[in-house]
Chains A and B, each alone.
Chain A
Amino acid sequence: MPRLRLFLIAFVIGLVGVAGIAWISQQVRATPLTLNGVAVEPPRPATDFTLTTSAQKKVNLSDFRGQYVLLFFGYRFCPDVCPLTLQELKKASQTLGPQAERIQVLMVSVDPERDTPDLIDAHVKQFNPNFVGLSGTAEEVALAAQAFNIYYAKEAGSVNTGYLVSHSASITMLDPDGNIVEVFPFGLGAEAIAADLQAWLAR
C-alpha cells in the first residue's frame, strides 16, 4: 500500500513538473525580446520618404523593405559623434558575419547645404561599402527628420568649422515590414547593438 502511494505521489509530482516546464517555456516564447536599446511598443509603421544618394539616384525608405533598417541622422562636419555612430554600426555589422546582408544602414544628412548626396554617400562608404548616405533639398531632409522625430538645428561655429548642427543622435531601427521597432540611444556600443540585432534576426 505505501509503495503504491509513493508511486502515485511521484507520478503526480512528475506530471506537475512537466506541466510547469511546458508552461514556463511557453511564457518565455511569448515574452518580448530583452533588448539593450529601447523597444518601440507597439511597433509603428514608418512614414516613407524620398531622398537622394550618389549619382543622383533617388531612394525611398520603402525600397529597403525586407531588411532591418538602421537609420540615423548626422552630418560630415561632425568629426566626433557621427563617426562614432558609424564606427559602432560598422563593428556591429562585422559581428553579424553573413547575416549582415539582412541589415541596411542609412545615414541621412542634417546638413544638406554642405553634404551633397555624393559626399555623404562616399563618407559612409568609407566605413562600410554597403552603408548608404542620403541627402536632398532642405525640404526633403526636413520631411524625413520629422517622420522620425529627429531634431536638428544650426548653431554658430567658427570661420574654420562653419556652422555646426545640433541633432538627435539616436539610431532608429525598422523591421523588414517597415515598422519602427527599436531605438538605440547614442553611444550604446557596438556589442550591445549587435546583440539586439542578433536577437531580432533569430526571430
Chain B
Amino acid sequence: MFTRFLSLILTVALVAACAPAATEEHQDDGHHDEAITVGNLEITDAWVRPATQMEAGGGMATPASEQTGMGMDPNTVLSAAYMVIHNEGGEADKLLSASSDVAAAVELHNVKMENDVMTMFQVPFIEVAADEHTTLKPGSYHVMLIGLNRDLKVGDHVSLTLNFEKAGSVTFEAEVREEAP
C-alpha cells in the first residue's frame, strides 16, 4: 500500500518536472516567428547589410554578362548576408549556392586574415559539418549580394534562397540590420 502510494507520488513528481521542460522547448527566444529548416538543417540569426545607391553617378546595376562585367561598373552596389546554419543531422552538407531577387548575382565568399592583411575570395561551397553550427559572419564566410536592384534600409527584409547539396533548397526572409542580431 505504502509502495503504491510512493510510486504515485514519484510519478506525479516526474510528470510535474517534465511539464515545464516541455513548455520551455516550445518557447521561442523571439528572434524569429517560425523556424527556418530544410532537411536536417536549421537557419537562424540571418541578417543582411544595409546598402544604398550612390547619389553621385547613381543608377541601378545592369544584369551581369561577359561583356558588361558588372564588377567593373562603379555604380554596382554590393551587400552581404550572414547567418548561423545548424546541422542537427549526422551527416555533413554543403551550401552550394544562393540567390536573391534583390541581387543580379550572388556568390559565396570567405575572408582570410594574415598579419592583418585581409583577402576575400569566392568559394565553390561552404561546408556545413555534421552536428555543428556553421556561422557566416563579417570577416569570415558570407553570402555576397552583387548588383542590388533596390536600396536596403535597416528594417527591410530580403528574400534569400539557399541551395544545399543534400538538404535541398530553402527560401526565407532575412532582416536588414547594421550588425548581427
Interface residues of A (CB under 8 A from B): 54, 76-81, 83-84, 87, 114-116, 118-119, 122-123, 126, 151, 155, 157-164, 166-170, 185-187
Chain A residues within 8 Å of B138, by CB: 80-81, 83-84, 187
Chain B residues within 8 Å of A160, by CB: 64, 70-71, 104-105, 107, 146-147
Q: Is the CB of B49 within 8 A of A162?
A: no
Nearest first, the 8 closest Cβ-Cβ pairs linking A and B are: A162-B71, A79-B78, A118-B56, A160-B105, A166-B119, A84-B138, A169-B118, A79-B80
Residue B167 at the A interface, CB < 8 A? no
Closest to A157 in B: B71
Q: Roughly how many angstroms separate A158 CA and B106 CA in the complex, as a whole number?
A: 11
Size class of the B contact interface (CB-based, 8 Å): 35 or more
Residue B179 at the A interface, CB < 8 A? yes
Residue B117 at the A interface, CB < 8 A? yes
Residue B174 at the A interface, CB < 8 A? no
**A119/B56 contact (C-beta < 8 A), A77-B78, A80-B80, A159-B64 known:** yes
Partner of A161, one of B54, B116, B146: B146
Q: Roughly how many angstroms separate A160 CA and B142 CA in the complex, as a whole number?
A: 16
Residue B109 at the A interface, CB < 8 A? yes
Most-contacted residue by chain B among A119, A161, A186, A187 (CB, 10 A) = A161
**A158/B78 contact (C-beta < 8 A), A84-B138, A119-B57, A164-B120 known:** no
**A186/B139 contact (C-beta < 8 A), A77-B78, A159-B69 known:** yes
**A81/B118 contact (C-beta < 8 A), A160-B104, A161-B71 known:** yes
Q: Is the CB of A161 within 8 A of B107?
A: yes
Chain A residues within 8 Å of B64, by CB: 159-160
Q: Roughly how many angstroms separate A119 CA and B111 CA in the complex, as a whole number?
A: 24
Chain B residues within 8 Å of A170, by CB: 116
Q: Is the CB of A169 within 8 A of B116?
A: yes
Closest to B120 in A: A164
Interface residues of B (CB under 8 A from A): 49-52, 54-57, 64-66, 69-72, 74, 76, 78-80, 104-105, 107, 109, 111, 113, 116-122, 138-139, 142, 144-147, 178-179
A77 to chain B, nearest CB (A): 6
**A158/B54 contact (C-beta < 8 A), A81-B139, A168-B117 known:** no
Closest to B106 in A: A160
Q: Roughly how many angstroms separate A78 CA and B142 CA in the complex, as a whole number?
A: 12
Q: Roughly how many angstroms separate A168 CA and B147 CA in the complex, as a whole number?
A: 26
Closest to A81 in B: B118
Q: Roughly how many angstroms separate A159 CA and B179 CA in the complex, as a whole number?
A: 28
Q: Roughly how many angstroms separate A76 CA and B72 CA in the complex, as a whole number?
A: 12
Partner of A186, one of B51, B113, B120, B144: B113
Partner of A81, one of B70, B78, B120: B120
Chain B residues within 8 Å of A119, by CB: 54, 56-57, 74
Q: Is the CB of B54 within 8 A of A123?
A: yes
Q: Roughly how many angstroms separate A185 CA and B139 CA in the complex, as a whole number?
A: 12
Q: Roughly how many angstroms separate A108 CA and B122 CA in the complex, as a whole number?
A: 24
Q: Roughly how many angstroms separate A83 CA and B144 CA in the complex, as a whole number?
A: 13
A194 to chain B, nearest CB (A): 15
Q: Roughly how many angstroms separate A163 CA and B65 CA in the complex, as a whole number?
A: 15
Q: Is the CB of A80 within 8 A of B121?
A: no
Q: Roughly how many angstroms separate A168 CA and B65 CA in the complex, as a whole number?
A: 31
